[in-house]
Amino acid sequence: MTSSTLPSMPVERTTLFDPPQEYTALREEHPVTKVRFPNGSTGWLVSRFEEGSEVFAHPKMSARRPRHDTPEGEVAEAGNDAPFNPTFVMMDEPDHSQYRRLLSGRFTPKSIAKNLQPYLDRIVDEHLDAIEKGPKVFDFVEALSLPIPCLVICELLGVPYADRDGFHSATEQMMDLANSREERDKGAHWLIDYITRLVAEKRRTGVQDGILAELIATADDEGSFLKDDEVIGMGVLLLFAGHDTTASMLGLSTLTLLTHPEQRRDLEEHPEKIGPAVEELLRYLTIVQFGLGRVALEDVEIGGQQIAAGDLVVVAMPAANRDPRAFDAPDAPDFDRKMTRHLAFGYGVHQCLGQNVARAELKTVLPRLFERFPNLHLAVAPEEVPMDSLGTNYAVKKLMLRR
Amino acid sequence: MKISLDVDKCCGAGQCVLAAPDVFDQRDEDGIVVLLDENPPAEQLGQVREAAAVCPAAVIEVQE
C-alpha cells in the first residue's frame, strides 16, 4: 500500500474535550493500524490502552524516533528533528538512565514536598491575591495558569523569572505545529542561545541555584561523561517542557471544572479528593494531543499486528486514555473512578520526568482557586474559548473568567 | 508477602512511593527506589500490588 492510500491519523476535534471522533471506531476495529501521519510519513497508530502501554514498555521499541506530527512534507530522520541535543528523551538503555538519573532526584515527591511546595504555596496565594485585587473579568492564562509553571521551572532550574516573556514566546514559536520547520527552529535557537549564555554566566559566577548549576558542576568534574552541548540541551528541554505542559493542564482543567458543575461541586465539597481528581483530569484531558512515537528495533507483534524492524509506532494517548476496556464510561470525568494508572505522562522508563511537579501545581492551584472565588465562571460561552488545536499540547490560548 | 526489585530498571518516577509510602522510598541523589520493608504486613498487600502495577518500568515484583 502506498502512503496516499493509507488512512490519515485523525487530528481534528469536533468537541472541546474529546479526542477526534474517528478514534472511537478506530479503537474498536483497527486498534493497531497503518496510517499516514500529518507530515506524510507512515507507520502504526495504536489507540488502545493495553497495546499502547505495551509499546511504551517494550524493550525493543526505541525512543530514538523521527517526528510524525510536523507539517505536511516535513519528514526528518530520527535524532535530526531539533537543533538542540535532546539527550535522554531520544536515548535507549543504558544511556537513557545514566542521563535521566542526573535529574530524577530533583523530581521525587519527597524532594518536591520539601524544596518546592512552600514556594508553590506562596506564589499561588500571591497570584490569587492579585486576581482578587484586579478587574472582575480577567484572563486566567495571563493571571495564573502561565505564570505559576514559569515561576516553578525558573525556581527549579535557576533561570531568572524576568526572562519569562522571551522563553515563553520562543517555546510557543517552537511548539506551534502550524509553523514551518524554519520558524520552529528560530524558537529553538532562541532557547539554545539563552541557555548557553546562562550556563556561561553561572560558570563565571559559580552560583549554586538549581538544576542548571548542578549539571554544570557534573560536566566540570574531571572525566565526566556529560558534555556541554548536553547540559545546554537538557536545560532547553526542561525549560520548555517544564512550563508549557503544566500551563496547558492548568487552563484546561479549570475550563473542565467550569463546564462540569457536578464535578466542580464534588471537588468543592470534598477537597480531599484532589489527588484522584487531578489523575482523572490528566486522563480525561491527555494534552499531548498527537501522541508519542517509538521505532521498532526488531520485528515485534503488538495487538496481533506484525510490526517490522524500523517501523514508526505512535501511541495516541488521548485515545488510549478513553479506551472502555481500561476505563468505565471513559468519556466523562469522574473523581470517584478507581484507576491504577493512565497514559497522560506516557509509560515505560521514559515516563514524564516532571510528572510530580505537574501534580503538585495542579493540586495546589485548583482547590484554592475555587475556594477563593466560589462564584467563578466563564466570561464567554465555552465554544468561544480560543483553543490551541495545533500545538504539541492541547491548550486554551486565553481563558476569560469572571470572579 | 515477599517483594523483590530490579533496581537497574528504575527511572525514579516515584509512583511506588505515592502508592505505598510505608514500603517504598527513593534515594535523595537520583530518585532510585529504596525498599523500606522487605516483608510488609499483609494489610499492605493492596497498596504494594498497586505500586507494582503503576510502576512504569516494571521494577517491582510481589510474591504472595
Separation CA B51–CA A284 (nearest Å)? 22
Number of domains in chain B: 1
Q: Which of B6, B9, B11, B54 to mutate against chain A (most A CBs within 10 Å)?
A: B11
pLDDT value, residue A78: 79
Q: What is the DSSP string of A257-291?
A: HHH-HHHHHHHHH-GGGHHHHHHHHHHHH--BTT-
Domain containing B19: what range?
2-63
Distance CA B25, CA B34 (A): 5
Residue B56: its chain A contacts at CB < 8 A?
56-57, 346-349, 351
- pLDDT at A2 (0 to 100): 55
Mean pLDDT of A108-124: 97
pLDDT tens digits, one per residue of B19-44:
999 999 999 999 999 999 988 999 99
Domain CATH code at residue B58 = 3.30.70.20
pLDDT band at A4 (very low <50, low <70, confident <90, very high): low
Q: Write the residue in B14, B53, B58 that is nearest to A109 by C-beta.
A: B14
pLDDT of residue B32: 97
ipTM: 0.95
Residues of B in contact with A111 (CB under 8 A): 28, 31
Structural domains of chain A ordered from first start: 3-402 (1.10.630.10)
For A193-206, how does the pLDDT look when each residue is reduced to its tens digit (9 = 90+)? 999 999 999 999 99
Task: Give the CA dihedral A216, A217, A222, A224, nearest 10 degrees.
Answer: -60
Residue A25, all three cell numbers: 471506531
User: Is the omega angle on the peptide bond into residue A94 within 30 degrees of 0, that is, cis?
Assistant: yes
pLDDT at A144 over 70: yes
pLDDT given at position A82? 82
Q: How is residue A158 written as a grid cell? A: 535557576
Instruction: List chain B residues with CB under 8 Å of A110.
Output: 14, 17, 25-26, 28
